Amino acid sequence: MAQMKISRGVRLKNPLGLKATVLLAAVLFSLAAFAQQMPKRAVIHAGKLLDVKTGSTLSDQAIVIEGDKIVSVGPMSSAKLTGNEQRIELGDATILPGLIDAHTHLTFDPQFGYESLAISVPREALIGAKNARVTLQAGITTVRNVGADGYADVALRDAINAGDVPGPRMLVSGPPLGITGGHCDNNLLPSEYHAVGDGVADGVEQVQHKVRENIKYGADLIKVCATGGVLSKGDDPNASQYTLEEMKAIVADAHRLGRKVAAHAHGAQGVIWASEAGVDSVEHGHLMNDEAIATLKKNGTYLVPTLYLIDWQREHAAQANLPSFLKAKMELVSQSAKNNAKKAFAAGVKIGMGTDAAVYPHGLNAHELEVYVQLGMTPLQAIQTATINDADVLGLKDKVGTLEPGKWADIIAVDGDPLHDITTLQHVKFVMKGGEVVKNEYAK
């Protein structure tokens, strides 16, 4: 019989033999390693589940999750469980897909005019880490970040993906493209400073170079300023900025390189040219006319209206502390923005939910949906803008936007019924992103 040494000066007989012992140890080690590699399983059980495709509310539902993906969705009584799942009991809550915001600026806070000059790019990234956490806690599990200085949004996205900081899944644009002196340039300093925005490019050749440069440094999409804006000095929100030819060049290069294009546009001409150039979404559209709305409809271009910022600015004028040269432009767009959005809704223009969070504090994103309902959408239609529609806007239809097997386990829960009271989505009590629980007020 072989012997096995277990302590100094002591030997025991080993009935298995040395080779068998080594083999058994190897098998046990392999099993332990395999167990560590197996994706963990969880089951969420809730009283109600909102199917955002059909508008049906299903009772006593279970979502089985393996790793970061949904495995099955259905009645708790028919869920195929192994008994080893983490059980997440949400009582009578309503579960639905994590919300998507197609227009955020996580690396910015509501700091306007000359105050913004004091913010460095490293400081922006740290501001973004704070706002990413707040946004995720509010139930926004995916965002499209459309504009940041110095690729701070690329750094933030990568930090979230690495698990360094909590935050929503991000698609980022890097610096937005704009003309010299336009909305996306730096117009706050006199000529001796020679200040130029990171994304400034003029002419077809330059805009092609800038598209390629942004992609080189990590952009998931391209953001372009097609008209003047509100929170910028010296430009007119009604005036188109890039020419149709320049925007066509931007879109052609971006699409050829697998990136979508979002166009900031307030005035009618800029909206029309952006849509005719083939952009995937027009942001704002606050000053567009009937022709611009018809063009969006004809081309199937998404409109991302960003409307709650108007209410917030009016209700918190003192807190907003806008410089006088910005107040006048904010009032200009506020006079027609909601009416134009209502016309677009009625015309059947495709709508994605976006907030422009940073014009007001982050975490209030779901207030945007309440405005859509006030302008004629049903609660279900409003919810679809922040789920199914935004998943399409971002090019992530096969990954997010609905609770279906194979999609990422991005799940939120609220008290009550959002189909009867859309404001319940302003008080999200449970958040899961990619199979990880990041908020659970139902836990006992």
Catalytic residue set: 223, 356
Contact 284, 309 (CB under 8 A): no
How far apart (Å, rounded) are the C-alpha atoms in residues 32 and 405?
Answer: 28
CA distances from 186 to 200, 362, 433 (A): 9, 24, 36
Q: SS3 for the chain, per residue?
A: CEEEEEECCEEEEECCCHHHHHHHHHHHHHHHHHHHHCCCEEEEEEEEEECCCCCCEEEEEEEEEECCEEEEEEEHHHCCCCCCCEEEECCCCEEEECEEEEEECCCCCCCCHHHHHHCCHHHHHHHHHHHHHHHHHCCEEEEEECCCHHHHHHHHHHHHHCCCCCCCEEEECCCCEECCCCCCCCCCCCHHHCCCCCCECCHHHHHHHHHHHHHHCCCCEEEEECECCCCCCCCCCCCECCCHHHHHHHHHHHHHCCCEEEEEEEEHHHHHHHHHHCCCEEEEEEECCHHHHHHHHHHCCEEECCCHHHHHHHHCHHHHCCCHHHHHHHHHHHCCHHHHHHHHHHHCCCECCCCCECCCCCCCCCHHHHHHHHCCCCHHHHHHHHHHHHHHHHCCCCCCCCCCCCCECCEEEECCCCCCCHHHHHCCCEEEECCEEEEECCCC
Cβ-in-10-Å burial (0-12, 13-18, 19+) of 256 comes to exposed
